[in-house]
Amino acid sequence: MPIDWFPLWLSLRVAVVSTAVALAVGLWIAYMLANREFRFKELLDALVTLPLVLPPTVLGYYLLVLIGRASPFGKLWETIFGSPLVFTWKAAVVAALLHSLPLLVKSARAAFESVDRSYERAARTLGASEWRLFWRVTLPLAHRSIFAAAALAFARSLGDFGVTLMVAGNIPGRTQTVAVAIYDAVESGNNTVALTLVLVVSAVAMLILTLANRLSPR
């Protein structure tokens, strides 16, 4: 029986998009957490970290409540894009984001905090705006750790199972990611398919983790 490679490509696509979104949102959150003093700061940090410790069913339930067809967000999405968000590959991105974002925020905050304050102070006395300071000084100085964090977030996005199943479902050829496909294959006794996908996923994950290790500052 020929192996259907669609789930692998879908998973990679989901992971790429989820990592990109996590970078855009997560770097901003991490920078705020590292550099600004505001109320509820540690609460925000805890809230971002929460998905790492909650069971996938709890997260999936929250997501269905938040982005389901009956929710305000779900309705808004449907009016704008003409189709529901849940049970599409985009919902799988949201599911993956729940795990990639906390990983990224945690590591990026630590990376930003480890940049010597005197560089930022020097840039400020030289008249640099906060924007230029971020792009030209802080981010370049933290870039190795941030690449490593992004690689980790990518690898984690690749492997989500529970939440994806709950919000994106298991529609072969549309929302079936590699983790779900492996579950399916095992359930239906398709051992060759299961084994092949398992080995490929392990190899990809291994590759990414090695990359992350090489990128992190020694």
Residue 140 vs 172, nearer CB to another protein: 140
State in angstroms the smallest separation of the CB of 115 from another protein: 10
Of 69 and 143, the one with the shorter C-beta distance to another protein is 143
If the CB atoms of residues 30 and 123 are measured against another protein, the closer one turns out to be 123
| Minimum separation from the CB atom of position 215 to another protein (A) | 15
Q: Rule CB under 8 A: is residue 123 a binding residue for another protein?
A: yes
- Placement of tokens 């991490």 in the chain: 30
Site for another protein in 124-153 (CB under 8 A): 124-129, 132, 136-137, 140-141
- Rounded to a whole number of angstroms, the minimum distance from the CB of residue 75 to another protein is 43
Concatenating the DSSP letter of every residue in 47-72 gives HHHGGGTS-HHHHHHHHHHHHSTTSH
* Least distance in angstroms from the C-beta of 119 to another protein: 5
Q: Which of 121, 207, 213, 217 binds another protein (CB under 8 A)?
A: 121
> In whole angstroms, what is the distance from residue 102 CA to residue 109 CA?
10
Closer Cβ to another protein, 81 or 119, answer by number: 119
Report in angstroms how near the CB of residue 61 gets to another protein at its nearest.
43
- Per the CB < 8 A criterion, the answer to whether 188 and 81 are in contact is no
Q: Is 75 an interacting residue with respect to another protein (CB under 8 A)?
A: no
Dist. CA 109–CA 114, nearest whole Å: 9
10 in Cβ contact with 89 (< 8 Å): yes
Single residue of 79, 118, 131, 173 touching another protein by CB under 8 A:
118
Question: Could you say which DSSP state residue 135 is in?
Answer: I
For another protein, the closer of residues 114 and 192 by Cβ is 114
Q: Give the distance, in angstroms, between the CA of residue 113 and the centroid of all CA atoms in the same chain.
A: 21
CA distances from 54 to 96, 154, 156 (A): 14, 20, 15
**Residue 177 is encoded by which pair of tokens?**
């990611």
Residues contacting another protein: total by CB under 8 A:
17
Contact 206, 155 (CB under 8 A): no
User: Judged by CB under 8 A, which stretch of 57-65, 123-131, 161-169, 202-210 contacts another protein?
Assistant: 123-131
* 2 neighbors 195 (Cβ within 8 angstroms): no
Residues at the site binding another protein, with contacts judged by CB under 8 A:
116, 118-119, 121-129, 132, 136-137, 140-141
